[in-house]
Amino acid sequence: MSGDQRAAHREKGDAHNKNDVRPLYLGEGNSDCQGILQDETDMSEITIQPDGRVYVFGASRQVLELLESLSPTDQKLQRVLGRIRKHQPVELKR
Amino acid sequence: MKQRWASRERLERARSHYRGCELCEHRCAADRLAGQRGPCSAGVATRVFRHRVEYGEEVELVPSHLFYLSGCDLRCVFCIAGLNAFDPSRGRELTSDFFNAAVEWGKEQGARNIQWVGGEPTIHLPAILEVMSQCPSLPPVVWKSDFHFTPEALELLDGAVDVYVADFKFGNDQCARKLAGIDNYTRIIQRNLIAAANQSRLIVRHLLLPRHMDCCYRPIVNWMRDNLPQTPFSLRDGYLPSWRAKHFGDLAKPLEPGAARQAMDIARDSRLAVIQ
């Protein structure tokens, strides 16, 4: 990414800041979303390995609920979901 | 409401690092106000390249509102944040107006705390203290760090942080030099872990690295057993090759099957306070 492009990113980010505090994401230089502001709030990054292992980075509540529907045995997932239900029972989509 | 820790003297002491930065153990003394840059390349602007409420943190912390700041004092070859972490010009500027509004947005999403992550938040400590000091309803604060900071930086954080989450990355200095480009790693992080544990709640996190069981993981477990056996130990087994890891043979592939279970057994056999 050139210095000019980076400056343009900054300007877009700062302009966005004035009106909206929702999360934004400045696209990577080598991606299709270069220069486009994106809301990453509900974005989780999921990688599935050939051996079946599933990696989730930046898990949102919706993704956790989706994973739960697959009835995994992962203990941490169960505990996190338990915590969500305890604190936000109304918002859970069951 | 003014934060009790936010004295004018402390904020000025924090800002003085912009004139001669000694926030991390590179101790570059860069005059960031005058345009000088140290190994982290950070100036005086602090930028947020992402903020969102997440559920993948330790169970006791979620839902947590994470503020990802660009810029870092380390250069870990496997960094999952890559360029966003290493380029401090990325993201929108952290201002009080933005921060206060974002905090309220996070609360609406159910966040129980805010969490400063990076990159590395310590290199932006003056700006962070500034915005937190002006926040009318600051939630509990989590400081997720590589713990390569100086005692001066930790002193500035005293009282401002409720929970430290420390990334204990390497078990020896050779791996730290090769994979993160820093010297004296074990001495620095061990000193800081002890100090942080005496200051506030501490969670020690370790990301299992493939084929670093004997050189890194076992020494970390042994040190924790001997020094901080009651401190929550969070074992992370989600390593994926990122950034430049493909150029480092052992790190070019995901964690080998079975390694996570073996690591968990080692931690429990050592009676560490393992958490998820």
Report, as an integer, the average pLDDT of A37-56. 74
Q: How confident is the model at residue A57 (pLDDT cuts 50, 70, 90)?
A: confident
| A19 interfacial to chain B (CB closer than 8 Å) | no
Question: Considering only alpha carbons, which residue of chain A is nearest residue B55?
Answer: A59
Nearest to A23 among B50, B89, B95 (CB): B50
pLDDT tens for residues A78-93? 777 777 776 553 333 3
Of the candidates B53, B80, B110, the beta carbon closest to that of A87 is on: B110
Report how far residue B202's alpha carbon sits from residue B227's, in angstroms, rounded to the nearest whole number. 13
A54 phi/psi in degrees, rounded to 5:
-115, 125
Confidence of residue B69 (pLDDT cuts 50, 70, 90): very high
Mean pLDDT of A69-75: 76
Confidence of residue A35 (pLDDT cuts 50, 70, 90): very low
Residue carrying structure tokens 């870990």: B76
Of B53, B89, B98, the CB nearest to A17: B98
Rg (CA), chain B: 18
Q: For the residues B89-101, what does the mean pLDDT come to?
A: 93
Helix B185-199 to helix B173-180 angle (10° resolution) is 100
CB atoms B93 and A59 under 8 Å: no
CB nearest to B90's CB, from A22, A26, A91? A26
Judged by a CB distance cut-off of 8 A, whether residue A9 touches chain B is yes
Least confident of A54-68, B32-46, B96-110, B190-204: A54-68
- With vertex at residue A78, the alpha carbon angle to CA A43 and CA A56, rounded to the nearest 5 degrees, is 30
B110–A41 CB contact, under 8 Å: no
Choose between B127 and A55: higher pLDDT. Answer: B127
Q: Residue A33's pLDDT band (boundaries 50, 70, 90)?
A: very low
Chain B touched by A57 (CB under 8 Å) = yes
Considering the domain B8-275, what is its CATH architecture? Alpha-Beta Barrel (3.20)
CB-CB under 8 Å, B112 with A84 = no
Residue B121: C-alpha distances to residues B118, B155, B157, B165 (Å): 6, 15, 11, 12
Query: Under an 8 A CB cutoff, do A13 and B56 touch?
Result: no
Comparing CA positions, the residue from A9, A21, A24, A6 lying closest to residue B96 is A21
What is the C-alpha separation between B199 and A89, in angstroms, rounded?
Answer: 35
Min CA distance, A94 vs chain B (Å)? 18
Degrees to nearest 5, angle at CA B69 with B243 and B172: 55
Where helices occur in chain B by DSSP H, the ranges are 8-15, 82-86, 96-108, 125-133, 151-157, 173-180, 185-199, 218-227, 259-269
Chain A residues inside the 8 Å CB shell of B95: 17
ipTM of the modeled complex: 0.72
Instruction: Report the distance separating Cα B23 and Cα B14, nearest Å.
Output: 9
- Fill in the DSSP letter of residue B50: E
Q: Which residues pair with B113 in a beta bridge?
A: B64
- Is the pLDDT at A32 greater than 70, yes or no? no
Paired with B114 in beta bridges are B65, B141
* Helix residue ranges per DSSP H, A20-72: 61-68
Ranking A9-13, A32-36, B181-185, B186-190 by mean pLDDT, the lowest is A32-36
Domain residue spans in chain B? 8-275
Q: Is the pTM of this model over 0.90?
A: no
Per-residue pLDDT at B195: 98
CB contact under 8 A, A59 and B101: no
Q: Give me the torsion for CA of B188, B125, B19, B97, rounded to 10°.
A: 170
Interface test with A, best of B41, B47, B51, B52 (most A CBs within 10 A): B52
C-alpha dihedral sign at B1, B6, B9, B15? negative
